Amino acid sequence: MSENLAVSRPVSRWKPQRKLSQWSERIVYCLFGAFALLSIATTAGIIASLIVEAIEFFKVVPFTQFLFDREWTPLFANPQYGVFVLIFATLMTATIALSVAIPLGILSAIYLSEYAPPRLRRWLKPALEILAGIPSVVHGYFALIFVTPILQALIPGVEVFNALSAGLVMGIAILPLVASLSEDAIFAVPQSLRQGAYALGTTRREAIQNVVLPGALSGIVGACILGMARAVGETMIVTIAAGQNPRPINPDLSFLDPRISVQTMTSFIVQVSQGDAPVNSIEYKTIFAVGMTLFTLTLLLNICSFWFVNRFREKYE
Amino acid sequence: MSLTAPIVDTETVLSVENLSVYYGNFLALKDVNLSIPQHYVTAFIGSSGCGKSTLLRCLNRMNELIFGSRVLGKINYRGTDLYAPTVDPVDVRRQIGMVFQKPNPFPKSIYENIAYPIRINGYQGDVEELVEQSLRDAALWDEVKDKLKQNALSLSGGQQQRLCIARALAIEPDLLLMDEPCSALDPISTARIEELIQQLSQQYTIVIVTHNMQQASRVSQMTAFFNTTSDEAGSGHGYLAEYGSTEQIFSDPAQDVTRDYVSGRVG
Ligand SMILES: Nc1ncnc2c1ncn2[C@@H]1O[C@H](COP(=O)(O)OP(=O)(O)OP(=O)(O)O)[C@@H](O)[C@H]1O
Ligand SMILES: [Mg+2]
């Protein structure tokens, strides 16, 4: 077939290098496929090792105890394994963080894409993305050394290590992510929709509120859920600034006091890994049980985000 | 199409005086003077890039949404200076509606597409009634009356464009600007919209940009022909070459460039 085609062209001024490009095409295909496979295999390996060790853990500690114990004292002589102690602490710091990151992130995204003059936007957007690259250990010490003393001066009863300071700074840390992704979503709303709105006599606020934001909603919610996943998995800031104090779940809800030190899932994992828990000891296996819980939580959030973005994506064309 | 009344007898809705438009340092349109008579359809014709859309956007101050654009000169709208500092562009666009080249319905339901501008502009009467009326005016009601809750993007291109016209009509504009409203449509949808424009011209004043000479001669009573100067640097600016009744522009233009253009002999 291809030979016939070649013969039918009398002038041989065109000689595409099909052979070479076919080969390079095939090599590139295999190479990239291998890399894709590698990353999938790594993820699968991590999950498998988590599951295997978690199963080992649950052979010793019954699942009901893991869920319903009211305290988290795995390193004590008489250990208790109520993982909700850690989950609540995690959710508390994450909630504080998100109550900073989501409103500020969305507002700055709206400013950047709708109000900022294009020249300013060209500078601010990359600056925002650089901000996202600040190592979290820096944020952690910023919380401990700078924010906590301010909080202590303002609010009575704030401990040196506390959930509030860690949460607030974590909010600042994930703000660029939320802002940048939301901005992408808002910027992706076609200009023609904005023009359509303005041509109907809407003010800028009305156009943003009723046309632009609904159009970008799925992307913004996706950004927020991703920010939530980041907040839940954030390690360094909470380890440095929130301390290592698992609060028993008491009916007086004192474990939800943000002024005092708490222990999140991530900071527990750091604590145990820093000590010298012998391999295969129960302390060692706890890490994997907690890690598994953390993984499940973030996975759920990611699935939520994925589902939401697909479900509510407004098609413009 | 013959004029039903001499031009001098009609009221002027809008008059443009010495209008020049810049994008940054680029002069897109220079020294335009023309006036738009009430209840007429005025067509803007001319080759690509001569500033028809630019002028149209100036007429309802949409041009200032474009970063770097600058408008010099004056536009008088029923006795008030459109660009006076006291004039709110939102009020201007409320009076002077616009339909775009590409249909741009909101990604909402068909009903909501029309009800939204009605509500946002504080309509005191029955919203539902006005939605139906607008859809009827845009000759779309019969096609969509059973699926008002459906997403507007499920409509065909021609239906979407008529929805956009209905949306613009819903807020009862004084003047309606249309930028190549049929360029993305098939001949049948185009014919429907042309028919619609003719009907609407009894109530509204319409300015339409078109590349279709037949369309201009079919629907309009006035025609403005725009052209581009070609200076030595190669970056010419647009200007209004000739303006008059459609009949005169198409049968007896004063300038050779106009004759060449309307007869399809563009050099
Ligand atoms: N947003 C913009 N920024 C910079 N220059 C622009 C912009 N819009 C238009 N121009 C320039 O202004 C001139 C006139 O453009 P305009 O869109 O008004 O032409 P037009 O007559 O509508 O053309 P067409 O028939 O192709 O739609 C062109 O040279 C164009 O390059
Ligand atoms: Mg145009």
Cβ–Cβ below 8 Å for A193 and B107: yes
**Residue B154 DSSP one-character state:** G
Q: What does the alpha-carbon distance between residue B227 and residue B233 come to, in Å, rounded to a whole number?
A: 17
What is the average per-residue pLDDT within A170-188?
94
What residue numbers bound the domain in which B222 lies? 12-262
- Judged against a pLDDT cut of 50, whether residue A292 lies above it is answered with yes
- Which is the closest atom of ligand 1 to the Cα of B66? 1
What is the average per-residue pLDDT within B178-198?
87
- Judged against a pLDDT cut of 90, whether residue A309 lies above it is answered with no
Summarize pLDDT for B17-33 with one digit per residue, the tens. 999 999 999 999 999 99
Domain-embedded: residue B6: no
CA angle centred on A251, ends A245 and A252, rounded to 5°: 75
- Which positions ≥6 away from B253 have C-beta within 8 Å? B225, B242, B259, B262
Cβ–Cβ below 8 Å for B62 and A316: no
Domain-embedded: residue B17: yes
Give pLDDT, residue B266: 59
**Pocket mutation for ligand 1, best pick of B21, B23, B59 (most atoms within 8 Å of C-beta):** B23
Residues of A with CB under 8 A from a CB of B: 117-118, 190, 192-203, 206, 210-211, 214-215, 314-317
Domain-embedded: residue B125: yes
- Name the pLDDT band for A161 (thresholds 50, 70, 90): very high
Among A200, A203, A205, the strongest candidate for a mutation testing the B interface, having the largest count of B CBs within 10 A, is A200
Report which of B7, B43, B59 is spatially closest to residue B180, judged by C-alpha positions. B43
- Which positions ≥6 away from B47 have C-beta within 8 Å? B226, B227, B228, B261, B266
CATH code of the domain containing B99: 3.40.50.300
Q: What does the alpha-carbon distance between residue B234 and residue B257 come to, in Å, rounded to a whole number?
A: 18
Domain-embedded: residue B216: yes
Domain-embedded: residue B188: yes
Summarize pLDDT for B119-178 with one digit per residue, the tens. 999 999 999 999 999 998 888 899 999 999 999 999 998 899 999 999 999 999 999 999
Q: What is the mean pLDDT of chain B?
A: 89
Q: Which of A117, A197, A199 sits opposite B60 (nearest CB)?
A: A199
Distances (CA, A) of B191 to A170, B185, B230: 60, 10, 35
Topology of A65-316 in CATH? MetI-like fold (1.10.3720)
Q: How many domains does chain B fold into? A: 1
Domain-embedded: residue B2: no
Give pLDDT, residue B234: 61
Burial class (CB in 10 A: 0-12, 13-18, 19+), B101: middle
Q: Domain spans of chain A? A: 2-60, 65-316
Which chain A positions have a beta carbon within 8 Å of B116's beta carbon? 200, 210
Secondary structure element (H or E) that encloses residue A41, with its range: helix A18-60
Summarize pLDDT for A205-215 with one digit per residue, the tens. 999 999 999 88
Asked if this assembly's ipTM is beyond 0.85, the reply is yes
Summarize pLDDT for B74-106 with one digit per residue, the tens. 999 998 999 999 999 999 999 999 999 999 999
What is the average per-residue pLDDT within A37-43?
95
On whether any CB of chain A is under 8 Å from the CB of B181, the answer is: no
> Pocket around ligand 1: residues whose beta carbon is below 6 Å from it?
B 23, 26, 28, 48-54, 66, 238
Domain-embedded: residue B4: no
- Judged against a pLDDT cut of 70, whether residue A315 lies above it is answered with no
**Pocket mutation for ligand 1, best pick of B20, B45, B52 (most atoms within 8 Å of C-beta):** B52
Residue B254: CB atoms within 10 A of its CB come to 12
Give pLDDT, residue B155: 92
Summarize pLDDT for A93-151 with one digit per residue, the tens. 999 999 999 999 999 999 999 999 888 999 998 998 898 889 999 999 999 999 999 99
